[in-house]
Chain A
Amino acid sequence: MDPELRKGGPPAPIAALIRLLIPPPAREAVMGDLEERYRSPIQYASEGIRTMPYLIASRARRTSSVAIVGLQAFALVACLGVTLPDLPGQTVPSWAQGGVPAAAALLALILRAVYRAEETPLRSGLLDAAAAAVAMLLSQGVLVALVSAGQIGPDWMLPRGLTMLAFFALPVLAVLGAAEGRDESPRPAVSRPDEAVIQDYLRFERRVRLRNRAEIFALGLIVILSSAILLRFEPPMAPFAWPFMGLFAALIVYLAARGAAPPAGAASGFAAVRALYQRELARQHGIRRLMWWFWLGPLFIGLAANLVLAGLAADEPLRAAAGGAAILLLAACIIALNRDRGREVRDKAAALSAMAEPA
Chain B
Amino acid sequence: MADPSSLGQFEQLVLTAILTLGDNAYGVTIHAKAEALAAPKKAALGAVYATLDRMEDKGLVASWLSDPTPERGGRAKRHYRLEPAGERALRDSAVTAKRICDAVQQSWGEGIWIPN
Q: Count of chain B residues with Cβ under 8 Å from any Cβ of A?
A: 22
- Asked if A62 and B57 sit within 8 Å, CB to CB, the answer is yes
Bound together, the chains give a CA A57 to CA B53 distance in angstroms of 11
- Asked if B76 and A33 sit within 8 Å, CB to CB, the answer is no
- Asked if B45 and A51 sit within 8 Å, CB to CB, the answer is yes
B:20-50 near A, CB below 8 Å:
26-28, 44-47, 49-50
- Asked if A54 and B44 sit within 8 Å, CB to CB, the answer is yes
Bound together, the chains give a CA A185 to CA B33 distance in angstroms of 37
- Asked if A31 and B75 sit within 8 Å, CB to CB, the answer is yes
Chain A interface mostly? helix
Bound together, the chains give a CA A32 to CA B47 distance in angstroms of 17
- Asked if B49 and A54 sit within 8 Å, CB to CB, the answer is yes
Task: Say yes or no: is A28 at the interface (Cβ < 8 Å to chain B).
Answer: yes
Point out the residue from B44, B65, B71 that lies within 8 Å of A29, measured CB to CB: B65
Task: Say yes or no: is B99 at the interface (Cβ < 8 Å to chain A).
Answer: no
- Asked if B28 and A58 sit within 8 Å, CB to CB, the answer is no
Q: Name the residue of chain A whose CB is nearest to the CB of B78.
A: A29
Given contacts A29-B78, A62-B57, contact A52 B46 (CB under 8 A): yes
- Asked if B77 and A29 sit within 8 Å, CB to CB, the answer is yes
Per-residue B-contact encoding for A50-66, CB less than 8 Å = 1, 0 else = 11111101110110000
- Asked if A26 and B75 sit within 8 Å, CB to CB, the answer is no
- Asked if B27 and A33 sit within 8 Å, CB to CB, the answer is yes
Point out the residue from A1, A6, A9, A50 that lies within 8 Å of B46, measured CB to CB: A50
Q: CB-CB < 8 A to B8: which residues of A?
A: none
Bound together, the chains give a CA A26 to CA B53 distance in angstroms of 10
Bound together, the chains give a CA A61 to CA B50 distance in angstroms of 10
- Asked if B76 and A32 sit within 8 Å, CB to CB, the answer is yes
- Asked if B75 and A32 sit within 8 Å, CB to CB, the answer is yes
Task: Say yes or no: is A30 at the interface (Cβ < 8 Å to chain B).
Answer: yes
Q: CB-CB < 8 A to A37: which residues of B?
A: 28, 45
Task: Say yes or no: is A47 at the interface (Cβ < 8 Å to chain B).
Answer: yes
Task: Say yes or no: is B54 at the interface (Cβ < 8 Å to chain A).
Answer: yes
Bound together, the chains give a CA A36 to CA B27 distance in angstroms of 10
Q: CB-CB < 8 A to A58: which residues of B?
A: 49-50, 53-54
Task: Say yes or no: is B115 at the interface (Cβ < 8 Å to chain A).
Answer: no
Bound together, the chains give a CA A3 to CA B71 distance in angstroms of 9
- Asked if B65 and A28 sit within 8 Å, CB to CB, the answer is yes
Given contacts A1-B71, A28-B75, contact A33 B46 (CB under 8 A): no
- Asked if B50 and A30 sit within 8 Å, CB to CB, the answer is no
Per-residue B-contact encoding for A1-19, CB less than 8 Å = 1, 0 else = 1010010010000010000
Task: Please provide the 8 A-B residue pairs with the shortest distance between their CB atoms, ordered closest to farther.
Answer: A54-B46, A32-B75, A29-B78, A32-B72, A51-B46, A33-B27, A58-B50, A35-B73
7 contacts between A and B (CB under 8 A): A35-B72, A36-B72, A50-B45, A51-B44, A55-B50, A58-B49, A58-B54
